[in-house]
Structure 1
């Protein structure tokens, strides 16, 4: 078994926009250069770096209207849970929820991997929500954007636990000035998490293999990841919980450990998972050969640290008790 660095499992983490490599660092530098070129002063119009522009270095740089841009899907889902849809003017191209935003043509879709600074400027945001995992990609550009336009930028801290989500909600609420809404959302989520956890605590514990992808080896998660914590939260044991972080394992490794269930978060549906498992070499006589031991879970529900985590926990629970 070989360890795989977190940034290389983008097939799993793309919804969190983490990992980018040298190509993205080069893209970031180009964007910073592009930004600077756009701010060159002209004789006919004061630019953002002029004396007049320097006075805009606050939330008053635009209108009193709050205009929020979310650069990671989990942030968008938290804002939605706080009933902030009407103030969101931009989300990422990989946002899928809520559909009211993802399918709204008036809400700009931003490719966070190929940052278009002109697109961001046109939105005139007052608040930009990024994430710690994408700081290397965006920090230089957003720092200059913040200085020159007065927009506020916040990098949400990465959480590796389900119990850390309410704190993330509170952080976002404080940033956008909606602490009451954030507190209500966080408290409701905490209650739901506690209820699910309590209900599952009396259930039988199973050993589960978490399949993130397979090409050609399996990618799974070990200890100290958000996904591992989700599994433990519903009273299950991770087959490869003795490993650290995201890792690749062979079919021989899976056969040797013979898990009670396979939980796929690769995006495949139940029928697709059934067909895939049937083709596993050496699947004969393994417990997960039975289709009732195969669970296909929407990855957005269990990999995005937001309010819908309870739906993901319930999806796992329902599969185990069907």
Structure 2
């Protein structure tokens, strides 16, 4: 659970930083990449790592972030704290390619640019805030690594899997108002419009209770009560029982529809928060939570 909290914390911090510094992506990534192949790749965010493995480049990965945990082979890789990068440590890994997240320009841009001067290729992968954006990251990483054909295949397979999940949503189901709780302590955070979670809810024909907000936002208990969601879903890595215990301790929540109708749910946050090859599994888990089809 501590591991997952770190993932969620990094997820929120990176999103906030990206919003603060604007959403301009690395323009160099739009240019045609050289035919150079890379043998020592460092990936600084879990979704990029999962994409690399799916493209058949797992044996080329020599370093990952401290919150990487999938596939299981990453436990044997050198780990780097994506929020506190150390230039000397990175150079010791002798990478020829570093895949960073777009928001890391704000936190580590100077350091990463310094690595470029040392001859290391640094690519900022675009921030994916929708499933369509995610396909763009598949393409971007495929182009950089010379795996464009494999990336196209991955996109095709992922689209097919996602369509199957969408088609499985009950045709006669009433659209539910859903509150997504991405952090409970020290403050409650949720997903507004323009976020990956919001797009996933839309794909599943559900309504985001806080679609009036933009991005990842802190919300008060009073605001949640006022929104009166039909379903409350935790993405923090807790069990349904643990999340229920958290809700039970919040004064005034007894009048919320989700509480009155026992619709307090929990899903695997890693599956639904990482815009990568496993997103169809995350979408299935979210579908099951919303439509109570476990």
TM-score, with normalisation over the residues of structure 2? Answer: 0.84
Out of 65, 70, 75, the position equivalent to 1:97 is: 70
SS at 2:237 equivalent = coil
Structure 1 residues 84-143: Cα deviation after superposition (integer angstroms, max 9, x where no partner): 211100001111111121x22xx1111122212222112211211011111122322222
Structure 1 residues 241-261: Cα deviation after superposition (integer angstroms, max 9, x where no partner): 122222233222222222110
Distance 1:253 1:76 in 2: 37
What is the correspondence of 1:1-322 to structure 2 with a 5 Å cutoff? 12-15=8-11, 18=14, 66-101=39-74, 103-104=75-76, 107-149=77-119, 151-200=120-169, 202=171, 203-215=173-185, 218-290=188-260, 292-319=262-289, 320-322=291-293
CA RMSD of superposed structures (Å)? 2.5
Aligned residues: 271
Distance 1:216 1:92 in 2: 24
Q: Which runs of 5+ in 2 are unaligned?
A: 18-33
Distance 1:65 1:194 in 2: 33
Q: Displaced runs of 4+ in structure 1, greater than 4 A?
A: none
Change (3 A) 1:112 1:179: same
Distance 1:183 1:13 in 2: 32
Distance 1:59 1:170 in 2: 15
Change (3 A) 1:290 1:223: same
Change (3 A) 1:124 1:115: same
Larger radius of gyration: 1
Match of 1:24 in 2: none
Distance 1:14 1:97 in 2: 16
Superposition deviation, residue 19 in structure 1: 6.4
Change (3 A) 1:206 1:80: same
